[in-house]
Amino acid sequence: MPTTLYPAKSMNPELRTTAALGKFHAAAQAQPNIALVKYWGKRDVVLNLPTTGSISITLDSLWTRTEVRFVPGQAHDRVSLNGRSDAAETKRVVACLDLLRQRAAVDWGAEVDSRNNFPTAAGLASSASGFAALVRAGAQALDLGLDETELSMLARRCSGSATRSIFGGYVEWTRGRLADGSDSVALPLLPADAWPLRVAVAVTSIAAKQIGSSEGMRHTAQSSPFQASWVATQPADLTTARNAILARDFDALALVSEHSCLKMHALALAAQPGLLYWNGATVECMHCVRTLRRQGVPVFFTIDAGPQLKAVCAPSAIGQVKAALREIPGVLHVLDSGLGAGACVIAIGALEA
Ligand code: PMV
């Protein structure tokens, strides 16, 4: 597949409007997001509906770029992720393509080529950016004419956290009440440039995680004694975080984000057997961030289902935060990102058939 399809400046917002070169073939870019109020638990496994709402920030300098070409008459899908083919990932991609094909009422096979500019095993929600980019590109290739809310709903079916990467900046994913999931969608809370915080990611292991998030969520809901209080206390955390974001209140956002992160891990730790996603360096990084904050540095941490620590800070603090995290034994490297845009179409190719 032609990699030259990608324009050099993929983040140029004008590219959003340069569509209309052809059909069935498009490329899109999406960025990972990091939850500040965590999603951990599904109320419907098939529709991927969350037990609680969540709030996240979308990053900018880390991305997935995905090219999708539907080929009329082709029976099978061919999927390449970072230049390789992986059976488990291909299965998830094909399930996502099936949803797109169902919408378009076609049965064409597709060629999918997807690349990340960050290590897939770095615990950086590559499934969020991956499926947001896939849905964005696939919907464009089939000319489905979906708005961002509908795209977020489709992305949710493929990977829960992908629903939030459809939007940029600060994003809320609502739990929804309806059984069909039509009210469980992502909503933009604040654009990235309205409060341009930065994120340093301390990578403490590149080993693939042992228990994926879906399995971890199921196991936790079945066996953790804290499940009911996790669900009961989430609405208050969402309100606090939403208000802190709208008021650009860093200290309030720091407190509720660390609280939600630690509460999610306490919930998982209390499962039987307990899920321990941290290593020693993760814990040292948490102490480091807390020490910096006590010294007046505007920074807080959050950690997902893996050992990497994400330190969210004011732009003025990023140098100091990165330098401090790099000093910690066991930190392999520190990535750095600002907040960015939602998934966008970056190119549309002509139909070759
Ligand atoms: O949707 P998944 O399978 O990527 O699960 C995401 C789970 C967490 O990253 C731990 C929390 C979150 O809200 O992103």
Q: Is 39 in the pocket of ligand 1 (CB under 6 A)?
A: yes
Residue of 38, 52, 165 to mutate, ligand 1, most atoms within 8 A of C-beta: 38
d(CA 265, CA 262): 5
Q: Name the token pair of 129.
A: 């950016």
pLDDT tens string 224-271: 999 999 999 999 999 999 999 999 999 999 999 999 999 999 999 999
Q: Is 189 in the pocket of ligand 1 (CB under 6 A)?
A: no
pLDDT tens string 45-77: 999 999 999 999 999 999 999 999 999 999 999
Neighbours of 182 (CB within 10 A): 12
pLDDT (0 to 100) of residue 210: 79
**How far, in Å, is the centroid of ligand 1 from the Cα of 241?**
17
Q: Is 305 in the pocket of ligand 1 (CB under 6 A)?
A: yes
pLDDT band per the 50, 70, 90 thresholds, residue 306: very high
Provide the pairing of β-strand 33-37 with 64-71: unpaired
Nearest CA to ligand 1 atom 9: 304
Q: Is 54 in the pocket of ligand 1 (CB under 6 A)?
A: yes
Provide the pairing of β-strand 54-58 with 170-173: antiparallel
Q: Could you identify the residue written with the tokens 């907040």?
A: 339
Residue of 31, 33, 40 to mutate, ligand 1, most atoms within 8 A of C-beta: 40
pLDDT tens string 103-159: 999 999 999 999 999 876 556 778 999 999 999 999 999 999 999 999 999 999 999
- Proportion of the chain above pLDDT 70, given as a percent: 91
